[in-house]
Amino acid sequence: MSRHRRPSGFQRTDRIADQIQRELSRVLQFELKDPRIGLVTVQDVTVARDLAYADVYFTLLGEGEDAGREAEQVLTGAAGFLRSSLAQSLNTRTTPRLRFHYDKTPERASELSKLIDEARAEDRELRPEDDTDND
């Protein structure tokens, strides 16, 4: 006797996460007026299966980690306002509580890229020019 399992639970949370990401991006861009938040980009949203929480991962354009931490606090403070905005557009019985997380990935990628470029430049300086033909 096999049970038929519906994969729709995951599909539903993915669909809701996408909807939250789109709507939050719109609200952050056009409705939330706080000078401490620069250009916020919502990178990803994951929603708990029971829809109790939504983890929102965001980045800031051209800002450092300190600004990211401050923005995380500001967004956490505005979570109630953002949640009520979401409640108007989500077709769910409950609206997940929002938890904001500053995503340092783009910053780290930029730092690593800079380090790689510096290492390549140093390598070119140290390598004799006649070795370049042997590649």
Domain with residue 23: its CATH number is 3.30.300.20
Do 13 and 60 lie in one domain? The reply is yes
Same domain, 40 and 99: yes
Q: For residue range 3-60, what is the model confidence (pLDDT) as tens digits?
A: 334 454 458 889 999 999 999 999 998 888 888 887 889 999 999 989 999 999 999 8
pLDDT in tens, 59-93: 987 777 788 889 999 999 999 999 999 998 888 88
Q: What is the pLDDT of residue 33?
A: 82
Nearest to 81 by CA among 122, 16, 37: 37
Looking at the structure, tell me whether residues 28 and 50 fall in a common domain: yes
Question: DSSP readout, 70-128?
Answer: HHHHHHHHTHHHHHHHHHHH--SSS-PEEEEEE--HHHHHHHHHHHHHHHHHHHHHHS-
Q: Are residues 79 and 113 in the same domain?
A: no
- SS3 (DSSP) at 4: coil
C-beta atoms surrounding 74 within 10 Å:
16
Together in a domain, 129 and 114: yes
Q: Do 32 and 84 form a contact (C-beta atoms < 8 A)?
A: no
Residues 79 and 129 in one domain: no
In a domain, residue 120? The reply is yes
Q: Which range marks the domain in which residue 133 is found?
A: 104-135
Partnered with residue 56 across adjacent β-strands are: 45, 100
62: left (phi over 0), alpha (psi -120 to 50) or beta: left
Residue located via tokens 């991006």:
25
pLDDT value at residue 1:
40
In a domain, 2, yes or no: no
100, 76 contact by CB (below 8 A): yes
Please tell me the pTM assigned to this model. Answer: 0.72
18 with 29, same domain: the answer is yes
The answer to whether the beta carbons of residues 60 and 68 sit under 8 Å apart is yes
Q: Give the model's pLDDT for residue 133.
A: 52
Same domain, 67 and 113: no
The tokens describing 35, both together, are 């000078």
Residue 2 has pLDDT above 90, yes or no: no
